[in-house]
Chain A
């Protein structure tokens, strides 16, 4: 597989064309919610990612995003949304996944990702060889982290 094919795996292109989680956000009653806008100044890509968390269990009850950008940033937001939904993650669990994703993306191809932990996001491993695209792949994940920080701040 060429480096380019490694970057644009079928699953990535599918996610970018039919993104999961893209759309309007609604916070269920009784949840703490936050919304964060992340912008990549080098290309103009932007994502606003919103999340609602149960204050009791810390479980993510709702997640949605809006945005526009390259197939990598869009697919990355999509695989993140899928991961959060399918595994019904808590905020703490999601943070672990974000850390694992960041480690993979910044590893320049050195880190073999754990599919159990990252799901379809492992398909973004190819990004780690393209240093100029790391920010594209991180956009949604950084936005989710910022949402968590807001929610934790509000809970204090």
Chain B
């Protein structure tokens, strides 16, 4: 099912729909090259306008009281949930839980399983029973957000914490996962696309392995949802998360997806108003998902903004955007591989890679590279990208990451590559040519 990629002309039309690109910050008379969308994406006018319009006209306390205004605000809030559900392939809007961000969404799952094991479960929570002899599995490539909550859950429950090790490029194979999964594996948490290597994991096959041993799968989809078509129901994962601000939406909101039977069996870790059915002075009973997980005031205008963001992405077409980004990443990877003195992290080609490339410049620290790139008006991320264990496994503390999005131009990638070479010259790195 190949589709025509967005053309360069399409991209310039799209850029006009973003205030950041329509009227860009300038550096020495040249617009900055924004190559940091894997950290946070810029937002279209439409998204900002939707949020503002909601706050100006429709703001009301959703799911509380009886007024028409509340009814209308609640419809918009729940409409956004339905839009997000449709966008990520969830059959029902109830499979979408609002969280503060993707990190929070992962914590809702890990902490919820912890509650289930502390005797605070709901009907069906037995499926999350964890104890000595059980194993929680992640990969060595995970973002800290998909690592630390699981380390702590293991410590809390007495389960064993294990990981699929990465190879010399920071990637890992289905075989390595197969070696690590066994009958004791209860949870397998992994990312669809690594935020450091861009490596795309074989989700469907991994889900099959996990299912065969009855393990719960948790997918970090932060770097996939903004870049490729994703259908969580078809992938078969039990839980998945992604962030709004990396997908053209507002900050302060993220998404937890769950299969209905999983969400229904997961107890809430944070409790309070409006997530409940009946409360006495002794105890509380909880709403079904998703409201069970949404105690307290919700990020309502942010949800409306995120609903608009996924509408924008749907109209552009994720398959066309993905095809375009594949071409851009090809240009990026080829440029890196053709430049002496650069080490490319992750797959040594474009297969099994999405949206980004991290490099290490021989003889230079990433912060020095980043400083030079910054002066050239090329905005990238330098550091460990919240993945210290992965960098440690590769024998480095940090790297320089350029990430592309549907608004990225070929010229911006050339500027990144030129700036890397410029940094080598500036710092007088000796490069064998």
Contacts and interface: CB of A to CB of B under 8 A. Distances in A.
B384 interface: yes
Contacts of B367: 43, 45, 69-70, 72, 133, 136
A70 B368 contact: yes
A44 B383 contact: yes
Contacts of A2: 375
A147 to B, nearest CB: 23
A71 B398 CA distance: 14
Contact of A44 (B368, B372, B391, B427): B391
B366, B367, B383, B428 — most chain A CB neighbours (10 Å): B367
Nearest to B376: A4
Given A43-B382, A44-B383, A44-B388, A69 B371 contact: no
Interface string B381-400: 01110001001000001100
B46 interface: no
Interface residues of B, number: 17
Contacts of A43: 365-367, 382-384, 397-398
Given A68-B397, A70-B365, A44 B384 contact: yes
Interface in A57-108: 68-72
B397 A45 contact: yes
Interface centre among A2, A8, A70, A72, by most chain B C-beta atoms within 10 angstroms, is A70
Nearest to B428: A13
A69 B375 contact: no
A45 B370 CA distance: 15
Contacts of B388: 44
A4 B384 contact: no
Contacts of A3: 375
A45 B367 CA distance: 10
27 contacts: A3-B375, A4-B371, A4-B372, A4-B426, A8-B368, A8-B426, A13-B427, A13-B428, A43-B365, A43-B367, A43-B382, A43-B384, A43-B397, A43-B398, A44-B397, A44-B398, A45-B397, A69-B367, A69-B397, A70-B366, A70-B368, A71-B365, A71-B368, A71-B427, A72-B367, A133-B367, A136-B367
A4 B367 CA distance: 13
B383 A72 contact: no
Nearest to A44: B397
Nearest to A74: B365
A4 B376 CA distance: 10
Interface in A1-20: 2-4, 7-8, 13
Contact of B371 (A44, A46, A133): A133
A33 B212 CA distance: 58
Given A43-B366, A43-B367, A8 B427 contact: yes
Nearest to A45: B397
A2 B375 CA distance: 9
A7 B371 contact: yes
Contacts of A42: 383
Contacts of B382: 43
A25 interface: no
A68 B368 CA distance: 13
Nearest to B388: A44
Contacts of A13: 427-428
A2 B367 CA distance: 18
Interface in B298-339: none
A71 B371 CA distance: 11
Contacts of A7: 371
Nearest to B383: A43
Contacts of B372: 4
A118 B426 CA distance: 27
Interface string A103-130: 0000000000000000000000000001
Nearest to B392: A44
A83 B426 CA distance: 27
Contacts of B365: 43, 45, 69-71
Contact of B375 (A4, A45, A70, A71): A4
A136 B384 CA distance: 15
B297 to A, nearest CB: 31
Contacts of A44: 383-384, 388, 391, 397-398
Nearest to B382: A43
Nearest to B28: A2
Contacts of A133: 367, 371
A11 to B, nearest CB: 14
B430 to A, nearest CB: 11
A132 B398 CA distance: 15
Given A70-B365, A72-B367, 13 more contacts: A2-B375, A8-B426, A42-B383, A43-B366, A43-B382, A43-B398, A45-B367, A45-B397, A70-B366, A70-B367, A71-B365, A71-B427, A136-B367
A13 B426 CA distance: 11
A33 B397 CA distance: 29
A70 B366 CA distance: 7
Contacts of B398: 43-44
Nearest to B367: A70
Contacts of A136: 367
A47 to B, nearest CB: 12
Contacts of B384: 43-44
A91 to B, nearest CB: 31
Interface string B422-433: 000011100000
